[in-house]
Structure 1
């Protein structure tokens, strides 16, 4: 059992311990082993945020995602960050408004936004390069490459994610449960980058909702950024924005032989098994079992998720 968490408060009016989220993160000791909860007062915090590898066991908790917003405007070709490119990386990798590289991170009731306008190219709202990270009732806002699940195991519940092109991407092992996925324009929801059949990575969307901006058939469920890309949609509602073909091979027919794109008991006007590409698969009950439980992201002898859930800390004034 972990020790009780320490609490740090952030408020732009000076009534908390710190005025910015980054100042609070910087105050967490290097090599931290005790959960630190950073409670963030309502406000729009306009600055990039970076959680280094040495800053583990951090929770960032807001009042509500609509009222507590972390936002910045980097793109792959224009990065302005309080850390140097040597630390955070360049291109798409370094363009995230918020970057988390410290394991055992939790966020609750926060909006993570990249405010770069449509047409800016790759502009990540949030990149996670860390293991055992969980997100509850968060929003991820952007256009292209909104949420970069780069590495590690992640769990998202009751979150809202919007974008247009490849806006949930990377090679993480992630379960998104009861999440709302919103397609803002023509594009692709996922771009998972598993590189071999031996890798256990992939994205599972469980009991989610996919919506769009009113048009018909303009968004694909995904395309393989890596040749063995793996994505599963289960018990998910798909509105008319979803292309009836479902999936795209990224212009590489060879990807059709290796990608693992699965659906299971989905529904809605965007779900049409008879019109899906032939190389995607509709799972049977037995085949789907491995993707329907939290065991997809945690091993029975290492139950990180249940322990982390004990430290969901609602904001209180």
Structure 2
């Protein structure tokens, strides 16, 4: 009976996909048949605008179709084209989401793929939310200032693409995976186009002869970096000021934190001396529609629980009594429990603006557990300070958006710092651990899939060392900076001290793929016995040892647009170089 249900579901799924694809073909036919009009029903006089707008899109025909209804409006602006392109993407992602909602997999007969589909629903809903936010931003922004919102739009659109691909790659059933991938083709192509167009916003506006206002933020960041290239990291620490827009109440709160007399909203304590004995219980007390910082103090102790800071829980600041004292631990893993990588996380931060300080996030599944995440973040503008993130394979999952890590200890074996977001790890200790027999260590595995999307990971002013158990085997067990999880994987190791455990090759090919031809792996001003680059793996066609001008792009000011949000976290950071 269960087998019949699955077969019926697959037939229904294929029919839905067929209807979607058929609708596209019918629309194309209508466009071509439109009397007196060119391709996509666009008048000949409007084709120049369409061609100009879609010149940066990878799927130009799809792009032209998505804005065809706007193109014939002769008063339409570039802003109207961008709005239409994102709106078309939203409509297709809605269809993808509905397709997944209609996909029924019995939990009792196929628990893993059932979970993967549930994950997929959540991620596509997150994609919808980001697209709706993008539409609101475009709608509320004046045409001549659109350039200044490009970075935020690109941040969201890159996350939309990451959610789409994560959705399908976690599904193991070939039948379901193929059907859903086919049903998402329009959505992924439109998202791809939107990313490429937004990434070239300046060129696009120039092509339409639109004069923009000066980008003061980037100009200030450039000036700051130029003035401080030769200064010490102490002078670059941004700890004594907050942006003018930052609420006065939050400024006082973070100032109190620095003085050591911060008063939390709630206290968690294993011994019952707080309002809650569990972190999950404390998070449930988060007030609806709360806007200010919500402060949770977690006293010393071992908290064996799976924690999620929900998407609606924004601006949560969680602090403990110190890494190694306040410990959040779990042991969920893929190998023994057969659950999706996302769901293996001991701690997940989804709400925007999450900040953590003085906490250990741990997954104890060990190397035998394979994928076993200790900390997963899809929290935009998040900062982790004075924390320890401990695991083996897939320890730290920087899933989406902008993330900053400072003064942390991060440990693992295979791909233990991985994700599709934009992360900077600064002034931290990176510890390679002893893997299983015949395994290797790869510190990073970045998942950037499109050349012009936001994404990648930077290790700045870090120390890369072996754990005690690995030390006597460090020349036998190969340890690499990383390997490319996706085609445009971007990883930078700069101003860091590299131990002798690192393989002279530096970077490892992802077996079975050709990503070494397109990925971007860079090093800058590293030191230590592992820093010599003359024997690096030459299979990586774009590998380079950067000079100071190019390396500056990967410092906090430009890589994370740090001055616009990082001071508000209260976490110290270097805006530019640290050496």
**TM-score when scaled to structure 1?**
0.91
State whether structure 2 residue 411 is matched by structure 1 residue 162. yes
Q: Which residue does the alignment assign to 1:44?
A: 302
Give the CA deviation at 1:149.
0.4
In 2, the alpha carbon distance for the partners of 1:124 and 1:247 equals: 23
Q: Which residue does the alignment assign to 2:427?
A: 178
Q: Which residue does the alignment assign to 2:334?
A: 76
Q: Which residue does the alignment assign to 2:569?
A: 308
State whether structure 2 residue 375 is matched by structure 1 residue 126. yes
Supply the RMSD in Å over aligned alpha carbons: 1.9
Runs of 4+ displaced beyond 3 Å: 77-80
Give the CA deviation at 1:298.
1.9
State whether structure 2 residue 524 is matched by structure 1 residue 264. yes
In 1, the alpha carbon distance for the partners of 2:462 and 2:481 equals: 13
Counterpart among 191, 210, 228 of residue 488 in structure 2: 228
* Number of residue pairs aligned between Structure 1 and Structure 2: 301
Give the CA deviation at 1:76.
2.0
Q: Which residue does the alignment assign to 2:497?
A: 237
Give the CA deviation at 1:295.
2.5
In 2, the alpha carbon distance for the partners of 1:194 and 1:251 equals: 17
Q: Which residue does the alignment assign to 1:251?
A: 511
Counterpart among 292, 297, 313 of residue 55 in structure 1: 313
User: What's the secondary structure of 2:431's corresponding residue?
Assistant: strand
In 2, the alpha carbon distance for the partners of 1:78 and 1:150 equals: 23
- Higher RCO structure, 1 or 2 (CA under 8 Å, sep 6+): 1
Give the CA deviation at 1:79.
5.6
Q: Which residue does the alignment assign to 2:402?
A: 153
Give the CA deviation at 1:182.
0.3
User: What's the secondary structure of 1:119's corresponding residue?
Assistant: helix
Give the CA deviation at 1:30.
3.1
Give the CA deviation at 1:299.
6.0
In 1, the alpha carbon distance for the partners of 2:383 and 2:371 equals: 24
User: What's the secondary structure of 1:226's corresponding residue?
Assistant: coil
- Residues 299 and 47 (structure 1), Cα distance of their counterparts in 2 relative to 1, 3 Å cut: closer
Q: Which residue does the alignment assign to 2:391?
A: 142
Contact 1:106 1:134 in 2 (8 A): yes
**TM-score when scaled to structure 2?**
0.50
Give the CA deviation at 1:307.
1.1
Give the CA deviation at 1:244.
0.7
User: What's the secondary structure of 2:352's corresponding residue?
Assistant: coil
CA deviation vs aligned residue, 1:49-94 (integer Å, no higher than 9, x gap): 01110111101101110111000110125569xxxxxxxxx51111
Give the CA deviation at 1:232.
0.3
- Which 10-residue stretch deviates more, 238-247 or 215-224? 215-224
State whether structure 2 residue 106 is matched by structure 1 residue 106. no
Contact 2:298 2:326 in 1 (8 A): yes
Counterpart among 555, 566, 569 of residue 292 in structure 1: 555
In 1, the alpha carbon distance for the partners of 2:385 and 2:373 equals: 19
Give the CA deviation at 1:292.
2.3
In 2, the alpha carbon distance for the partners of 1:306 and 1:178 equals: 17
Q: Which residue does the alignment assign to 1:35?
A: 293
Which structure 1 residue ranges, 5 or more long, are not aligned? 81-89, 312-317
User: What's the secondary structure of 2:433's corresponding residue?
Assistant: strand
* Bigger helix fraction: 2
In 2, the alpha carbon distance for the partners of 1:126 and 1:97 equals: 6
Counterpart among 460, 472, 475 of residue 206 in structure 1: 460
CA deviation vs aligned residue, 1:236-270 (integer Å, no higher than 9, x gap): 11111111100012024621221000000111111
Contact 2:296 2:317 in 1 (8 A): yes
State whether structure 2 residue 449 is matched by structure 1 residue 195. yes
Q: Which residue does the alignment assign to 1:97?
A: 346
Contact 2:335 2:369 in 1 (8 A): no
Give the CA deviation at 1:48.
0.7
CA deviation vs aligned residue, 1:145-178 (integer Å, no higher than 9, x gap): 0000000110000000000000000011011110
Contact 2:372 2:391 in 1 (8 A): yes
Counterpart among 344, 365, 368 of residue 116 in structure 1: 365
- Residues 128 and 159 (structure 1), Cα distance of their counterparts in 2 relative to 1, 3 Å cut: same
